[in-house]
């Protein structure tokens, strides 16, 4: 984590999927650097509560928000909750996402395809649509979407819906950056390589992870902090002229 500076004092940050992994680390970063942090979770209340506690222990302020982002009704309900907040969101990190199930292409049902797209793409669309009007009114805001290296190469076997949704999220990022840059909103994406989180406990075999390490010049998997620190940077003054970019963070596994 970055130092103890209060870089985000007075800001409100909403981090989706903050109950574990990259989102949890990102929430702790913003929360411990002064932002009032909304820690979103889907099912893992225990993980999200631990994140809130960590932020409060660091002297910060945080609250829990929950929603299932794999259904449009769940996202819309979440959007209403965000709209009802006293303080508008200044920093949005669209991080919640998942492969949901690894499936060969011929076995992907329409339901699974649409669920994966809803979680990884539509949630970012609708949540961004919810927070942007106030950002525009105030000419102030940062959005970081969490894409994936899979968007660049099609993903490992069984991940076509996921990699396609992430590719669309990267493109959405660029379109949003064009439209909202002139209104003072900073919009980028971070594209993690293989990061050692629950995601891979669920979806990847140890041999596959070992093969990634072997193909990575930095000779290791990424950590959640490797990603959260880049997200923090993208929302900082130092990144004031970084806009509409998909920042690859993968230890050199894929160089674009």
Ligand X SMILES: NC(=O)c1ccc[n+]([C@@H]2O[C@H](COP(=O)([O-])OP(=O)(O)OC[C@H]3O[C@@H](n4cnc5c(N)ncnc54)[C@H](OP(=O)(O)O)[C@@H]3O)[C@@H](O)[C@H]2O)c1
Distances (CA, A) of 37 to 57, 78, 149: 13, 16, 27
Closest to ligand X by CB, 106 or 214: 214
Report in angstroms how near the CB of residue 244 gets to ligand X at its nearest. 19
| Alpha-carbon span 107 to 116, nearest angstrom | 14
Catalytic option among 30, 162, 199, 233 = 162
Residues 6+ apart with CB under 8 A from 246: 147, 151, 170, 173, 174, 188, 189, 190, 191
For residue 23, state whether it binds ligand X (rule: CB under 6 A): yes
How far apart, in Å, do the first and last CA atoms of the chain sit?
Answer: 26
By CB under 6 A, how many residues form the interface with ligand X? 28
Report in angstroms how near the CB of residue 119 gets to ligand X at its nearest. 5
Is residue 213 within 8 A of residue 220, CB to CB? The reply is yes
**58, two tokens:** 């660091």
Annotation says 199 is catalytic: no
Closest to ligand X by CB, 148 or 216: 148
Closest to ligand X by CB, 172 or 194: 194
- x/- map, 125-164, ligand X, by CB under 6 A: ---------------------x-x----------------
For residue 31, state whether it binds ligand X (rule: CB under 6 A): no
For residue 21, state whether it binds ligand X (rule: CB under 6 A): yes
Per CB under 6 A, which of residues 204..233 are in contact with ligand X?
A: none
Is residue 144 within 8 A of residue 188, CB to CB? The reply is yes
- x/- map, 42-71, ligand X, by CB under 6 A: xxx-----------------------xxx-
Q: Which of 27, 55, 96, 131 binds ligand X (CB under 6 A)?
A: 96
Q: Count CB neighbours of 252 within 10 A.
A: 12
For residue 168, state whether it binds ligand X (rule: CB under 6 A): no
SS3 category, 92:
strand
**What are the b/e assignments for 215-248, b being 16+ CB within 10 Å?**
ebeeeebbebbbbbbbbbbbbbeebeeebbbbbb
Q: Which residues make up the interface to ligand X (CB under 6 A)?
A: 17-23, 41-44, 68-70, 95-98, 119, 146, 148, 192, 194-195, 197-200
**Residues labelled catalytic:** 162
């Amino acid at each position: 984590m970055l130092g103890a500076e209060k870089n985000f004092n007075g800001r409100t940050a909403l981090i989706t999927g903050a109950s574990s992994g990259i989102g949890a680390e990102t929430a702790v970063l913003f929360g411990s650097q002064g932002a009032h942090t909304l820690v979103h979770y889907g099912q893992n209340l225990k993980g999200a509560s631990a994140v809130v506690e960590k932020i409060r222990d660091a002297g910060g302020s945080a609250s829990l928000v929950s929603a299932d982002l794999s259904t449009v009704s769940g996202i819309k309900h979440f959007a209403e909750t965000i709209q009802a907040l006293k303080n508008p969101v200044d920093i949005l990190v669209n991080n919640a996402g998942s492969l949901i199930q690894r499936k060969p292409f011929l076995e992907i049902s329409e339901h699974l395809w649409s669920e994966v797209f809803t979680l990884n793409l539509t949630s970012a669309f609708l949540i961004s649509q919810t927070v942007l009007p106030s950002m525009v009114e105030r000419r102030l805001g940062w959005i970081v979407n969490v894409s994936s290296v899979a968007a660049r190469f099609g993903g490992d076997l069984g991940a076509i819906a996921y990699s396609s949704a992430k590719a669309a999220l990267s493109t959405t990022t660029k379109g949003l950056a064009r439209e909202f840059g002139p209104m003072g909103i900073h919009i980028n994406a971070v594209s993690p390589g293989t990061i050692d989180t629950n995601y891979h406990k669920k979806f990847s075999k140890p041999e596959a992870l070992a093969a990634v390490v072997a193909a990575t010049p930095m000779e290791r998997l990424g950590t959640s902090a490797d990603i959260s620190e880049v997200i923090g940077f993208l929302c900082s003054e130092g990144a004031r002229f970084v806009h509409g970019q998909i920042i690859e963070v993968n230890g050199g596994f894929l160089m674009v």
